[in-house]
Amino acid sequence: MEVDLPTERVLLSTASATKTIVLEPDMNGVLMTPEEFDAAEDYDENYRYELIHGVLVVSAIPLEASVGPNEMLGYWLLDYQQRHRQGSALNLTLPERYIRTRDSRRLADRVIWAGLGRLPNWRREHPTIAVEFVSARRRDRDRDYVDKRRDYMAIKIKEYWIIDRFRRTLTVIRYRPRRPQILVVSEKQIYTTPLLPGFKLRLARLLAVADMLDTPPDV
């Protein structure tokens, strides 16, 4: 179940930065610096935490219908890396990682580094590709389609994939200096990218995993 949390905005005192910060659901809406967010050493694992333009945003953990396709995508990427003759183009992929901007810490569902020819510094180097699986709530959808797109393009992430099980589409935002290029891939299409030569993302198979996990079976 997804939970709407209170949005009280409380300014953290300077003194609090010297103490251990524990992230908790009731901190949703707290004003926080990137340094304070990075210094947090503990958190309630039943929730997700993002710093968005200096404001802590707390949300429920993803549903199975989002996690399952993300796991499948990770499997395909690693299989491509290990078995495909051009798989060395993929340097690293990780689920649920923060993307750092000047005043935000965006939690991406999956990040991909490609074309570097080496293992990336995942704490300092922005990923080549960011992936989001859209949630049902309007606020989260707007965040994926509008806010994260703006932030990811501002730091020149080469591609941003928005996988939407509700619209049955994959929207790809490609960074361009003047204006991003937008591609919409339908359910029956296969997406390929020059960043991962030879890799084929079969959207219908990803959506089938989401459909399977959307409602648990009666036992």
For 197-207, write each residue's pLDDT tens digit: 999 999 999 99
Q: Say if CB 160 and CB 153 are below 8 A apart.
A: yes
Q: How confident is the model at residue 139 (pLDDT cuts 50, 70, 90)?
A: confident
Query: 88-104: per-residue pLDDT in tens?
Result: 999 999 999 999 998 99
Q: Mean pLDDT for the chain?
A: 89
Query: 11-26: per-residue pLDDT in tens?
Result: 444 434 446 788 998 9
Name the nearest CA neighbour of 76 among 93, 55, 64, 56: 93
Angle at 87 between CA 84 and CA 88, to 5 degrees: 140
Residue 1 has a pLDDT of 40
